[in-house]
Amino acid sequence: MSGSERGRWVWGAVALVLVGALAGASAAMWGGDRGVIPREAAAVERPMPTPTRTSTPTPTPVGAPADTTAYDLGTLPAVDVFAVLPALPVDDDPFGPLTGLVAQPGAAGAPVFATEGGEPVARLAHEQTYGGTVVPVITRHDHWVRVLLVGRQGVPGSGDPRQVTGWMRAADVTLTADPQRVEVDLSDRTFAIVTTPDASADGSVAPETSTLVATDFGSGAPGTPTPLGRAFLMFEDVVPQYAYTRGHPLVYLSVQSPTLAGFGGQSVAVTAFHYHDARSGAISNGCLRVSAEAIGPLSDLAPGTPVYIRE
């Protein structure tokens, strides 16, 4: 091969390489299956994500729905110390806890129901002569509260005389915190006033405090026992004709005797704390006989304060 021929062969090979390179670049540019897509061509517009809304769970209603019926209270029997109301249920958990709240009807009074959401069976006044209108709350629901009440379902010998309860509409009452209760122990012959402190700013609650008020007292004799379970302070009064009290107040409870239909010529047999010279052992008609030093702190407690009487 001459020199000129070799030159022509070299330039021809170079030309073929250049043509092949240009062809490969062109295939890559136009989407050849072996080419590399340029960065500009790879940019694809993506849709913006739609934020997902988190729905707030709807609280599950607690208790029966609200009842806005305007009842005629004048047609309903009163809940008071003299009442015998067979429709009212007795307390089915006499040593159970309470809510720490008391309820009082508004100025017009309020209907009382045997069952939550049922028909009214009685009425409770805002105030009345012998108290019993500030009542402890057993259960609190959205629109209803279950409370302890005065009166009886029946009298001994013909019915159940134990502590009664009822339901009231939350809209009809004012709720107030009551941090205190009285604990009576018939076996140890002691009773104390227990106070539950308010919760602190961080939500913590300090331990309860218990103030021992009596280390001995008189209680019901075997035939006229002191009623057991939870009750509440109905009202306090000084009754001069009860000479045995020596001028000290009687602090009446909501619960009545389990064996006496009446007492002292009255149609009621209310249990009470009161002073008595003879005040040790099971000697009374059901009342709790205490010293002068003990009756003072009891009479200072607010109406509606719960009282637990245990064996």
Measured over the CA atoms of residue 232, residue 238, residue 243 and residue 245, the dihedral's sign is positive
Q: What is the Cα–Cα distance from 132 to 76, expressed in whole angstroms?
A: 17
> Is 180's pLDDT higher than 60?
yes
How confident is the model at residue 232, as a pLDDT? 98
pLDDT for residue 46 = 67
Region 273-283 average pLDDT: 98
Higher pLDDT, 144 or 35: 144
Distance CA 80, CA 71 (A): 19
246 versus 27: the higher-pLDDT residue is 246
Summarised one tens digit per residue, pLDDT across range 196-245 is: 988 666 778 789 999 999 999 999 999 999 999 999 999 999 999 999 99
Over 60: is that where the pLDDT of 156 sits? Answer: yes
Average pLDDT over residues 176-185: 98
Confidence class for position 6, pLDDT limits 50, 70, 90: very low
- Dihedrals φ, ψ of 294, to 5°? -85, -35
Whole-number Å distance between alpha carbons of 126 and 134: 8
Task: Give the count of alpha carbons within 13 A of 117, CB side only.
Answer: 8
Selected from 2.60.40.420, 2.40.440.10, 1.20.120.350, 1.20.120.1200, the CATH number assigned to the domain covering 180-310 reads 2.40.440.10
For the chain, percent of residues with pLDDT exceeding 90: 77
Where in the chain are the domains?
73-177, 180-310
Residue 198: predicted pLDDT: 83
Closest CA to 155 of 252, 95, 84: 84
* pLDDT band, very low/low/confident/very high, at 193 (cuts 50, 70, 90): very high
Instruction: Find the range with the poorest average confidence among 1-15, 45-59, 77-91.
Output: 1-15
- Identity of the amino acid at 38: P
Average pLDDT over residues 178-186: 98
Beta bridge pairs of residue 219: 282
The reported pLDDT for the residue numbered 287 is: 98
Reported pTM: 0.81
Confidence at residue 60, expressed as pLDDT on a 0 to 100 scale: 87
| Side chain identity, residue 51 | P
Q: Among residues 115, 235, 228, which one has the least CA distance to residue 163?
A: 228
Q: What is the pLDDT of residues 24-80, one digit of tens each?
A: 444 333 344 434 444 444 455 666 666 666 666 777 889 999 999 999 999 999 999
- According to the model, what pLDDT value does residue 184 have? 98
Handedness of CA 85, 87, 92, 95 (dihedral sign): negative
Neighbours of 100 (CB within 10 A): 16
For 90-139, what is each residue's pLDDT tens digit? Answer: 999 999 999 999 999 999 999 999 999 999 999 999 999 999 999 999 99
What is the number of alpha carbons within 13 Å of residue 266 lying toward its C-beta?
A: 10
For residue 306, give the nearest of 195, 223, 205 by alpha carbon. 195
pLDDT, position 41: 45
At 215 the pLDDT is 97
SS3 16: helix
pLDDT in tens, 251-273: 999 999 999 999 999 999 999 99
Across the beta sheet with 190-195, what order do the strands follow? 209-214, 190-195, 180-185, 306-310, 229-237, 250-256, 270-275, 288-290, 218-220, 281-284
